[in-house]
Amino acid sequence: MSMYVSTRDTAEQAYPYSHAAVEGLDRDTGGLFVPRLTPVFSEATLQSFVDQPTVTIFTETKSLFAGDSIPTDVIHRIAEESYSKANFPYAENGIITPLDELQPGIYKLRLSDGPTGSFKDQALLPLGGELDFFMAKIRRMMAMLGGTSGDTGSSGESSIKGRERLWLAMLSPKNGMAPFQSAQMGALSGGNILNISVEGAFDDCQRIVKALKRTDEFGGFGAVNSINWARIASQVPYWISGYLQACEGEVGKPVDFVVPSGNFGNALAGYIARSMGVPIRRIIIATNENSVLDELIQTGNYRRRDSQITSSPSMDIGEASNYERLAFDVLERDPTRLKAYMGKFATGGEVRFEDFGLPNNYLQKFMNFDSGVSTHQDRLATILEIFKASGNKTVIDPHTADAVTVAMRKQQHGVPIVCLETALPVKFDATIKEALGFVPKRTDPRFIGLEERVDAEQTFRRAENSPEAVADILREELALAGLSSYVARG
């Protein structure tokens, strides 16, 4: 039975998967949910997954994590619905995340062919189906509230859109959204989706979401952010698929991975896949100028900074919320030590492994993580280099370019190195133009003329930069939607 504990719960109470998925964060302790025991695949099982379609690998993996919370046939239905041909038109033999070779030995795992052009679709598409299933079981509605600087917004909304038992309000900053991303979200406004544009920056949106979640009135709202275990669990299957494609059927062969990282959700899913027995060798973290995770891996010091705006904006973080789950394992799954460690970080802004009697190179030496930093100049140069090397065909987005930059530095002879593609370049016209000197013509009908088709301004509600202003809009819209009773604890 797959059960979950919170990283900060000294009583170590165990909960089912449904609780972790509906709650997001452990409200009683502020900790994150992790499996009490990580399930393991035998080598024979992994071998049997070679060449299997995504839906099969997803269903097999996810049923181990969901335990009794969701019947296997429902997981299978959710997978078929999420990873359909309509959502992933470029799937090859049922594999929605094909592997492309960029340069000899350097590969790109295509994670971003979904409806919003983001790897976040991989996990957010099934999340809508799962939450809808849980709410149908207890005959309740679930209202959700989130903040986005772009990718989570459109991806989360496309998953929740039209689902009878779910309602989602998404805050986005008035300043700082790319026109493409506003248009994507604008196209989804209406029905059970409410877009609110806040007079401020992304940090303001996050601050407002946090403030509202602390109130009785909005405390029960669900979350779509990446600390939700349901999202992490849904990212594990593509790591398995990526490994199986890169090892070319020889399960056991070492394969290295490079992950463009922000909140450490994607990388954590890789760590979980490895803990399940997938022979992933190094997990290499690529950061942009916001190099919190690089410093952690290289020096053992987890140090918060003010984030700076870069040309790979989805990785602009000052701390990495999902790292707490890895730290829990490093500290031998002792909630008391974990609380002391995170407490030191929260109050002093930094914490070192040596403060806890561990070597500062712990993540490299004992967990086979590595890291590298890619800057604006690096990503521009890499985008151009890959374009030229492909005979003027392949364009990668700025985040994926950070991974490829680091992969070129870290590649070792004879070991395939897989870069995770986290977005499509179509979302980042300005940077692509800076790198290549022009913006390639859009070929995907889903994205051609998107900004002209949707007048995003019209579909967003405007809010002053304060929790009260957003609360007023939420009350008004919830009443309009007829949502007098919403949300249940899982």
Ligand X SMILES: *Cc1c(COP(=O)(O)O)cnc(C)c1O
d(CA 407, CA 33): 31
Task: Identify residues 189-228 at the interface with ligand X (CB under 6 A).
Answer: 226
Of 227, 261, 269, the residue nearest 33 (C-alpha): 227
In a 13 Å sphere around the CA of 150, the CA atoms on its Cβ side amount to 20
Type of residue found at 25 = L
> Taking a C-beta distance cutoff of 8 angstroms, is the pair 321, 152 a contact?
no
Compare residues 113 and 132 and give the one whose CB is closer to ligand X.
113
Q: By rule CB under 6 A, what string of x and - marks binding of each residue 259-298 to ligand X? A: -xxxxxxxx-------------------------------
Applying CB under 6 A, does 114 fall inside the site for ligand X? Answer: no
Q: Is the dihedral of CA 56, 60, 65, 69 positive or negative?
A: positive
Report in angstroms how near the CB of residue 265 gets to ligand X at its nearest: 3
Q: Which stretch binds ligand X (CB under 6 A): 189-197, 257-265, 405-413, 464-472?
A: 257-265
Task: Determine the interface stretch with ligand X among 256-264, 273-281, 349-357, 404-412 (rule: CB under 6 A).
Answer: 256-264
Contact flag: residue 406 with ligand X (CB under 6 A): no
Q: Interface with ligand X includes 159 (CB under 6 A)?
A: no
Binding to ligand X, residues 385-404 (CB under 6 A):
399
Burial class (CB in 10 A: 0-12, 13-18, 19+), 252: exposed
In the complex, the smallest distance separating the C-beta of residue 120 from ligand X, rounded to whole angstroms, is 6
Positive or negative torsion for Cα 64, 68, 70, 73: positive
Taking the C-alpha atoms of residue 287 and residue 297, their distance in angstroms, rounded to an integer, is 11
* Contact pick of 419, 423, 424, 454 for ligand X (by CB under 6 A): 423
Among 2, 97, 116, 118, binds ligand X (CB under 6 A): 118
Task: Determine, following the binding rule CB under 6 A, whether residue 230 of this chain makes contact with ligand X.
Answer: no
Question: Do 31 and 9 contact (CB within 8 A), yes or no?
Answer: yes
Select 177 or 358, whichever has its Cβ closest to ligand X. 177
Q: Which of 461, 473, 489 is nearest to 196 (CA)?
A: 461
Instruction: Please give the structure tokens belonging to residue 63.
Output: 């049923």
How would you classify the pairing of strands 142-147 and 166-173?
A: parallel
Q: Give the x/- contact pattern for ligand X in 296-335, rule: CB under 6 A.
A: ------------------xx--------------------
Q: Mask of contacts with ligand X, 426-465, x by CB under 6 A?
A: ----------------------------------------
Nearest to 126 by CA among 237, 239, 14, 2: 237
Nearer to ligand X, 133 or 428 (CB): 428
Q: Rule CB under 6 A: which residues touch ligand X?
A: 118, 120, 151, 226, 260-267, 314-315, 399, 422-423
